[in-house]
Amino acid sequence: MLNLPLWQLTGYRALVTGATKGIGEAIVDQLLSLGAEVFLVARDNALLQEKLENYRQGGFAVEGLAEDVGRPGAAARIMEEVTARWGSLDLLVSNAGTNIRKPTVEYSTDEFDFLLNTNLKSGYELCRAAYPLLKTSGGQQPGKAAIVFVSSVSGFTHTSSGSIYGMTKAALHQLAKNLGVEWAPDGIRVNAVAPWYVHTPLAEPVLNNPEKRAAILGRTPMGRTGQPEEIAATVAFLCMPAAGYITAQSLAVDGGMLAWGM
C-alpha cells in the first residue's frame, strides 16, 4: 500500500524560474496544489506581481523576484533573496528557456551567447548557488532535496528547433547525470524532463503554422501536442518523495515521438 505522504509536498520550499507563463506557470500551480511554498522568478515584474497577488488571494504561500536568469550574477541575486526570505530550500526547478530558430550558419555570436546563457548557464549557476541550502535539506532528510531541469527532446535527437537550442538541452541532460551522481551523497536528487511540442507561448509561432503543425502531429504517435499541465505533473512527481530513488535521469514526455521508428 502506498504511503500518502509520498505523493505530496507539504512542508517543501521550491524555487521555479520562468514561472509566470507556459510550463513554468503550470509547474507553480502543480507544486502549490501539492502543498509546497513556491518562490517565483520571471523577467516581467508586472506580470510577476499580478501572479503573486492572485496566488496570495487564493491562500497560497508564495514569494517572488523579477530577474532575467541569463544576466551575469542573476543566480547569486536570486539565492540572496531566497536565503533572506526563507533561509531554506528543498526544490529547484530550472525551467526558464528560450529559442531563436534559424540555420546554424546564420547565428550571430551574440545570439549564441544569449541562448547558452539563458538555457544552460543559468541552470548551471543556479545549481551551484542553491547547493548549500539544498545540501542542508538533503542532509536532514536524504532525497528530499531535488533539482529538475526542464529540457527538451531536442537534447536527444535532431529537431527543427536549431542546433544551439539542441546543444543547450543535451548539455542539461548531461548536467543532470553528473550532478545526480556527484550530489547523491548530499541527499540531492537531480533529473531532467524533456518535452516534445507543448502549447506554450514559445511554441506558438510553430504550432500556429498549419504545415508545421501537421508535420509535428505526423511524428507523434499519440496524434496531439502536449499540455503544460502534463509536463508540470511530471516535474512535480520528480520533486515528490514518491520519486525518492530516481536521480540522474532525463525523462521524455513526448507522446511517443522519440520511440517511433520507421
Residues belonging to the active site: 165
Closest CA to 158 of 150, 169, 148: 169
Residue count of the chain:
262
Residue 95: φ, ψ to 5°: -110, -25
| Non-local CB neighbours of 41 within 8 Å, separated by 6+ positions | 15, 16, 17, 18, 19, 64, 65, 66, 67, 69, 78, 96
Cα separation, 127 vs 48, whole angstroms:
22
Taking the alpha carbons at both ends of the chain, their separation in whole angstroms is 41
Cα separation, 231 vs 182, whole angstroms:
26
Closest CA to 26 of 175, 236, 205: 236
